[in-house]
Structure 1
Amino acid sequence: WSASAVAADLCMAATGTDTGGSIRQPAAFTGIVGIKPTYGRCSRWGIVAFASSLDQAGPMTRTVRDAAIMLGAMSGHDPKDSTSVDIPVPDFEAMLTGDIRGKTIGIPKEYRMEGMPAEIEKLWSDGAEMLRDAGAEIVEISLPHTKYALPAYYVIAPAEASSNLARYDGVRYGRRAKLGQGDGIAEMYEKTRAEGFGKEVQRRVMIGTYVLSAGFYDAYYNRARKVRALIKRDFDEVFAGGVDAILTPATPSAAFGLGEMADADPVAMYLNDVFTVTVNLAGLPGISVPAGLDAQGLPLGLQLIGQPWGEGELLNTAHVLERAAGFVSKPAKWW
């Protein structure tokens, strides 16, 4: 809803929350800018927790400059959020110099997925060329544990969701189902959760409860945590090697048609998160910038991934990409 409202000019900007791509993907689908800040940069106080070690709030705006202004307003320490980090907030807007000469942009070879549409491949290569023309050096990099990112994410996120959503039982939080005569507390829990959660949330809660259960905890959850550490180490090594930002596609396709995915295989839907979940697992900042259109005229976005707490530099690189891409496509009428 946030992305749609901004894209339709119903508002200047909107807030979003990103656990595995839920700011960056809708932004890419609707031709707007969306930034997921470094984990801990923005307070999450008041947000329904999904996966606490992955969730991060951020802005969705029409332009990179608007994103810089809004991120500055949203950032800062909040004692009500124990994950909110107490570090200075720079003037992000002032850092939009448009100069990236001498910067190094990494292109991860592992993100060249089999079966990737040719138009996404071309958009990616055009984006790299735009940054090269602006004076950046483009280098190929390796993030070897990328192939394990989706499975690790779809163990960790449901496990944390299962724990976080357990409190929505009809006693203190959220809705309470209408009870029949003779119903006790167990029936209240069952009916409340059946009515209050949609199918996908129920699916994730059940997966999460399963991977946290006795006998499966080490096989799934603990192993996923170890893989997560390796994914973070991949990024640390790349940044330590002199790379300033990483360029990838934001999504493997344009937006789906209305109702198109209603009966789709959930695993096929999860594959759409392939380019975005690594950023959450590593706690890094990532931004989606509108960069082109597919054959049907639907928006496509490119993603830039930055160093921890490097939102200022990341926004500046995104600003350069935005100007070079010159994306102005917008339907004359959206209703």
Structure 2
Amino acid sequence: MVTLKKALSLTQEELKEIKKEITHQVHENSELNAYIDEPVESISSGVPILIKDNINVKNWEITCASKILKGYVSPYNASVIEKLHQSGMCAYGRANMDEFAMGSTTETSCYGKTKNPRDTSRVPGGSSGGSAAAVAGGFAIAALGSDTGGSIRQPAGYCGCVGLKPTYGRVSRYGLIAYSSSLDQIGPITQNVEDCAILFDAISGHDKMDSTSALLPSTQTFSKLDRDRRFKIAILDGYLKDADIEIQRAYQETIRTLESMGHQIVSKTMLDTSYHISTYYIICTAEASSNLARFDGVRYGNRAQHVDNLKDLYIKTRSQGFGEEVKRRIMLGSFVLSSGYYDAYYSKAQKIRKLIHKQYEDIFCDADMILSPVAPSVAPKFGATHSPLEMYLSDIYTIGVNLAGLPCISLPIGKSKEGLPVAMQLIGKSFDEQSLLDASYGLEQNLDIHFD
């Protein structure tokens, strides 16, 4: 598939042919189930960008891969879609995802699971699995996803793409259907670092429609990309105890590569990842239980039939419309916010969140960025995860970034013995996406990883 950088220089006639080819490839690769339906475009011109099914595109059905929203048509464009239109791009197709972005495997979608194009017996990651699978499979130039606790970086890592989770507030959330409002962030999934910078520049910048949007102009990272910059990069001692041996070896190899390139490596320590997991799942489920209360059968999407009263409508609509994982997280969130448990769980989690943020700040007093694995293993096979807790543990290396609101980029750094992508992530200071992209660009050029 042509890169985004190349596509932006093509004529509209050439882009029409690319859209036809994408549509053809979607049909040819239908078993991957990366696209929810046949791709259509939001406007009649522009470079086609695949859009995760929780980002509003005017006159498109938007469902968050949930039965409860089937039939709902968006009346407006999300701010990132308007920005795409202004930058010579257009929304083209809806990407499959975990229902309401709750999951790490893209198996909870009401449209069925998405498969990993590198090995169809394995998960593509989640919740932006459709976006990553399409880019990796060669039938999307680039895609937008959303990252609440690693939902851009982890699927990008499993599929062998580049994924950027921007600083919280750097990209407008207006038009993103919220899962956890203090953690969610839209970002790009692309074929390489250059494309990542281009798409990030297109969607970044202050938005008056979003009260959490930072008062900063759109970035210009692509024009400033510098692979020759050198940084002080922190590694976290004892942080890899939960990772597979293969990931630990890849981590050490990446460190050696960075040192050979001239980067300075410093050792640091951080709070055990078990605290990250507990804190994240208390906060995100609490916010989810509140955000998803609006889906009651009255205002949006599907409505239960044959009901006796309003209470019956609420119960039947939500029971029939939400999947098991969404119900589980709503129940957990309602529990931690309930009287008698709020102080024991939610208040305590907010205190730990502040501590995690402080630890990142302390590390950044002596380092420019942090190197970390993206996941404790390569993409697991379908059925390898036997409980929700096992699925939650796959997020151990990604969720801390969201709790602290920091930028982070995932990129492939090698292959496993089975030929599967192995990825690492670089975590940066707030609003310093430029340094992350520069360091990643240099590492990408040095490694020159290719997948069959």
TM-score by length of 2: 0.70
Once residues 274 and 310 of structure 1 are traced to their aligned partners in structure 2, the CA distance between those partners, rounded to angstroms, is 23
1:273 equivalent in structure 2: 395
- The equivalent position to 2:343 in structure 1, one of 199, 218, 229, is 218
Shift of residue 195, structure 1, vs aligned partner: 1.8
User: Which residue pairs with 2:169 in the alignment?
Assistant: 40
1:202 and 2:327 aligned: yes
Aligned to 1:185: 310
Supply the distance in 2 between the matched residues of 1:140 and 1:296 (Cα, whole angstroms): 31
1:65 aligns with 2:189: no
Pick from 108, 117, 140 the counterpart of residue 236 of structure 2.
108
1:221 maps to a residue whose letter is Y
Question: Match of 1:273, SS?
Answer: coil
Deviation at 1:291, TM superposition (A): 1.1
- Write the mapping of 1:1-335 to structure 2, written as runs, cut at 5 A: 1-101=130-230, 103-114=231-242, 116-144=243-271, 146-180=273-307, 183-241=308-366, 243-261=367-385, 264-330=386-452
1:216-267 deviation digits (Å, cap 9, x = unpaired): 00000000000000000000111122x0110011111111223443xx2111
Secondary structure of 1:100's aligned partner: coil
Separation in structure 1 between the aligned mates of residue 315 and residue 193 of structure 2, nearest angstrom: 45
Q: Structure 1 CA distance, aligned partners of 2:267 and 2:327?
A: 40
- Amino acid across the alignment from 1:72: D
TM-score normalized by the length of structure 1: 0.94
CA shift for structure 1 position 324: 2.1
Q: Distance in 2 between matches of 1:70 and 1:96?
A: 14
Moved segments of 4+, more than 4 Å: none
Structure 1 gaps of 5+ residues are 331-335
Question: Could you tell me how far apart the structure 1 residues matched to 2:215 and 2:306 are?
Answer: 46
Q: Measure, in 2, the Cα distance between the counterparts of 1:119 and 1:323.
A: 23
- Classify the secondary structure of the residue corresponding to 1:288: strand
The CA deviation at 1:306 is 0.5
Report the residue type matching 2:211 in the other structure. S
Partner amino acid, structure 2, of 1:289: L
Per-residue deviation, 1:146:
4.1
Q: Is the 8 A contact 1:100 1:134 kept in 2?
A: no
Paired residue secondary structure (1:152): helix
Contact 2:371 2:427 in 1 (8 A): yes
Per-residue deviation, residues 274-295 of structure 1 (Å, max 9, x unmatched)? 0000000000001110111222
Change (3 A) 1:227 1:110: farther
Shift of 1:197: 1.1
Tell me how far apart the structure 2 counterparts of residues 110 and 96 of structure 1 sit (CA, whole Å): 33
Provide the secondary structure at the position in 1 that maps to 2:171. Answer: coil
Is contact 1:34–1:289 with CA below 8 Å preserved after alignment?
Answer: yes
> What code does the residue aligned with 1:7 have?
A
Within 2, Cα distance between the matches of 1:322 and 1:90?
Answer: 21
Give the whole-Å Cα distance in 2 for the aligned partners of 1:159 and 1:110. Answer: 30
Superposition deviation, residue 80 in structure 1: 1.4
Paired amino acid for 2:186? A
Q: Following the alignment from structure 2 to structure 1, what is the Cα–Cα distance between the partners of residues 224 and 266?
A: 24
Secondary structure of 1:205's partner? Answer: helix
SS in 1 for 2:294: coil
> Relative CO higher for 1 or 2, CA cutoff 8 Å, sep ≥ 6?
1
Amino acid at match of 2:304: A
Tell me by how many angstroms 1:325 deviates.
2.2
Distance of 2:203 and 2:302 partners within structure 1 = 29
Q: What CA distance in whole angstroms lies between the structure 2 residues aligned with 1:151 and 1:20?
A: 12
Does structure 2 conserve the Cα–Cα contact (< 8 Å) formed by 1:28 and 1:300?
yes
Number of aligned positions between the proteins: 323
Q: CA RMSD in A?
A: 1.2
Amino acid at match of 1:127: T
- What is the DSSP-based 3-state SS (H/G/I as helix, E as strand, rest coil) of the residue aligned with 1:126? helix
Per the alignment, in what secondary structure is the counterpart of residue 258 of structure 1?
coil
